[in-house]
Every structure is written in C-alpha cells, then in structure tokens.
A and B are shown apart, each in its own frame.
Chain A
Amino acid sequence: MDDIAKRSIEIIAKAKNIPTDTIHLDTTFEELNIDSLDKINISFEVEEAFSIEIPDEALGSLKTVGDVVNGVKQLVEAKAAAGSAPAATS
C-alpha cells in the first residue's frame, strides 16, 4: 500500500476511532457508518494532511475509501504539475 493510501486510512480510522486494519480500499463509507458530518470532518483532515483542496462537487461522489485515495492522488499530482509548470507570462 502506498503512502497516500496508508495516511488516508489512518485519518479515517482516527475519525471513526476504529483500527486501521478494518479499513481497506474497497470498504464503503456505508460499512464504516460514515455520515455527512464525518465526511466533511475526514475531508478537512485529508486536506490538511496533503495540503490540497477537495472541490465540493467531488465530496458527493465519494463512496469508498478507494475513492478518497484516488481523489487525493489526483489532487496531489495536479498540484505537483501546477507547481512545476513554467510561470505564465503576459
């Protein structure tokens, strides 16, 4: 398991006060009893951990732990790409 998946699972485990080994990429939010408040709480912690911003529209589509991990990877990659792009000139 890569670092992003490991850290994301740790954040979810801490938020729900459950052991990390009960959480897998295909575990659903429903199985973890994650409600809407949990979702914004976990999103906040993930954003803080990876210095990213999850768009509002993406929050609604998150159904599994794997969705979170994939979303974080995309946002981290996008951020890295933006950071390495040449500065725009006018």
Chain B
Amino acid sequence: MNRVVITGLGCVTPIGSTVAEFRDSLFSGRTGISPIVNVPDAPDGDPGVRYKQAAQIFDFDPAQHLDSGIVSATNRNTHFAIVAARQAAAQAELLKHHAPGDIAIIMGCACGGRSSEEHEVKGLYTRNARAHPLTIVRTMSSAGASNISIDLRITGPTLDISTACASSTHAIGLAFHMVRSGMSTAAICGGHEAPLSWGFYRAWDSMRVVSPTQCRPYAADRDGMTLGEGAAMLVIETLESAQARKATILGEIVGFGMSADANHITQPQAEGAAAAMRKALADANASPGDVGYINAHGTGTQANDATEAAAIHQVFGPRASQIPLSSTKSLHGHAIGASGALEALATVLALQEGRLPHTAGVVNPDTSLNIDIIVSEPRPTGPIVALSNSLAFGGLNAVIALRTWK
C-alpha cells in the first residue's frame, strides 16, 4: 500500500482566506467569531435569535476570483470551495505532475446552497414567485465538487459526502484510502460550507445548543457552539510521486477510522467515538502511546465535550489525561460539513510547526473531564501522531490520524 502525504493546502475561513493568514490566527489565538451582521432575507438583516455571534467571512469577494457566470450559477459555499481548491492545487503544482484522470476530488458538504434555496422558497411561499432557473445547480450539495472539477479540468472520481458535522473528515479519510490503495495517485479533499442563512440560524436557535456568548470548548463554563462557514482543502498524493518530483511534503496521513453510534439522533455515545479513534489508530498501525495531540471535535456543548472526553478515556486509559488536546472551534467556529477540513488543516500546521494550538477563549478548563486541555498559548511538541476527531449529529463518527513529516 502507498504511503500518503500532503503537498498542498488551501482555505477560505473566518480566520483567514489564505493558509498564511489561517496559520497566524491559529497560533496567535485570533478568533473569527464576531457579532452576526446582515443576514440575507431576514428583516433588517437580523435573524432574531437568542445568540448574537457567528464565525462569518467578511474579506472574501467572489468576483475577485471567479467570473460572473460562475458566481451567478453557484452558492457561496461553492465560491469558497473553488478558491480554496485552487490554492491547494497551486501549492502542490498538482496538474503539472498528475494526469487529470488520476486525481480524485472528494468533498464534504452537508448543507449545500442553503441560502440560495431559502431565498427562492421565501419568494415562493410569500409571493407565489417562480424559482430562478439556476436554483437547482446553485443548491445541490455536490456543486462544490463538480465546480472544482470543471474549474481545474480534473476528470477522476469526484463526489460529495454528506454526514453532517463529520462530512469533510469522512471525505479526507476516503480520499486517503483511495490514494493509499492506488485507485487514484492524488486527490483534492476537504470540505466547504456556507450555511449562515436566516432559516439555519433559526433552526439552530430552536435546538438550544448555540452559545449565547461565544463557544468555549472544554471550559467548565462552556455554554454551546458557535456557527461558522468556510472551506479548507488538502492535496494528497502518494509518497512515491511526491518524492519522485521533489515536492515539498507538508505532512502525512496515516490512518482513518469511522463508526456509527446507532443510538440517538442528537445525543452522542462515547462508545461510537472511541471505536472511530481505535480504528484510526489500527489503520495507522499506531498504538495509543504514539498519540501526542488530539484536535477535538470540541463543539463547546456540555454533551459533546463530556462524551468526547469519556471516549478518549476509553481509548487511552490512564494516558488519556496526558495527551494534549485542543479545539480550534473557538477560532473558526463550527462550519458543519467543513469543520473537519478546517481542523485537519489546523492539525497539519500544528505538526508542521511543532506547535499545538491552544483552545482560545478558555480561561477555566473543565478539570472534571481529567483531560490535558491546552489553554493560554500554543504548546511545543516533537514529532508525533495526532488525531482529528469529527463526531456528527446522528452518531456518525470520523477520525483521521496524521503524523509529523520529518
């Protein structure tokens, strides 16, 4: 089987629309969470919800990157996807070294073109208006994957995975397995999401899991998640091809595990998350003792963080309390289907720099969880194996294992 390495990164996120900006924000703890402004179609732009904060992207103008026909035919999530994929492909010089048919595009996106759909439905329900003829192509969840393939003229296996908040970790994991097995020699994998519409804000408000203040993962006083948007992409390829062309290797993916809780549509089960972590370690041929960092799913809800911590104890036993852990969601928010990709990007950068990001905004870590939560400032590390967890509503769990490239 092939070893699989990372040779390109790209992103459009609330903490930076380039990887360099994302990196700066990640290690300086600069959050992208800010007051909600200008929600399309909501009266006066105000979604009318109990919470006032979200991780929104303000410095991204699609017209700066894409021609007007593409902007018109696509939703905001696809704008993010194309631009982030271009960044990653350019860094890897992907198309210079791989045939278009040998490259896979595996995306995670759960919400599709939600704001476009809501806009059309509002017109339909309030004025019996006709739907815009581009509504279907703007809103289909696979639009991001399709538009990346069209934009970069990539003709290999291309698909979208929708598993709620685990979508893009499933996407990266599947792409990893495809390259490892030789089905494709390279892949663009990651996720994209732009779900911050009026109806989406309202629906999450009704679930009562969004923080009225700001998400503080693994804090004793945590009070919920903060919604976000964005895209992050990894270019992965076989170690053999990367070395043959003397590419700069940014990191290595070594394992992927997934599981289903098979229990409850919203209440997570520690056993399911633990099974995914164990499978990722077994897939990596690594032992629990090799793990030196966990980028937690860490939404900042009471249920998620406590259950994830319990799962870590199940997997690592007495060592659980000694494994440094952080959640970067207090920086980039919870971008639903894209969250795993943003966190994979954060994990790759952490291993590359030998610095583990801290959980920004957390002053009082929840000591009752008996977990080594990184707070205050990044922590140095040597070469390690790291896990990036995604634990979705519906009990769908995905975990990737990465290793420092040296």
A residues lining the B interface (CB < 8 Å): 15-17, 37-38, 40-41, 43-44, 47-48
Contacts and interface: CB of A to CB of B under 8 A. Distances in A.
A41 B130 contact: no
Specify the main secondary structure of chain A where it touches its partner. helix
Contacts of A16: 68-69
A82 B68 CA distance: 38
Contacts of A40: 133
B284 interface: no
B73 interface: yes
21 contacts: A15-B72, A16-B68, A16-B69, A17-B67, A17-B68, A17-B69, A37-B73, A37-B133, A37-B134, A37-B137, A38-B69, A40-B133, A41-B72, A41-B133, A41-B134, A43-B133, A44-B130, A44-B132, A44-B133, A47-B130, A48-B130
Interface in B119-154: 130, 132-134, 137
Contacts of A41: 72, 133-134
A15 B133 CA distance: 13
Nearest to A33: B69
Nearest to B67: A17
A37 B133 CA distance: 8
Interface residues of B, number: 10
Contacts, number: 21
A41 to B, nearest CB: 6
Contacts of B67: 17
A17 B132 CA distance: 18
A23 to B, nearest CB: 15
Interface of B: 67-69, 72-73, 130, 132-134, 137
A16 B71 CA distance: 11
A15 B72 CA distance: 8
Contacts of B73: 37
Contacts of A48: 130
Nearest to B71: A17
A33 B130 CA distance: 26
Given A37-B73, A44-B132, 15 more contacts: A15-B72, A16-B69, A17-B67, A17-B68, A17-B69, A37-B133, A37-B134, A37-B137, A38-B69, A40-B133, A41-B72, A41-B133, A43-B133, A44-B130, A48-B130
B120 to A, nearest CB: 12
Nearest to A17: B68
A60 to B, nearest CB: 16
A40 B135 CA distance: 12
- Which 6 residue pairs are nearest across A and B when measured between Cβ atoms? A17-B68, A40-B133, A44-B133, A41-B133, A41-B134, A44-B132
A47 B73 CA distance: 19
A44 B130 CA distance: 9
A80 B72 CA distance: 33
A18 B311 CA distance: 57
A82 to B, nearest CB: 20
A54 B132 CA distance: 15
A20 to B, nearest CB: 15
A30 to B, nearest CB: 16
Contacts of A15: 72
A44 B68 CA distance: 17
A9 to B, nearest CB: 17
A70 B379 CA distance: 71
Nearest to A40: B133
A17 B68 CA distance: 6
Contacts of B68: 16-17
Central interface residue in B67, B72, B134, B137, by most chain A CB within 10 Å: B72
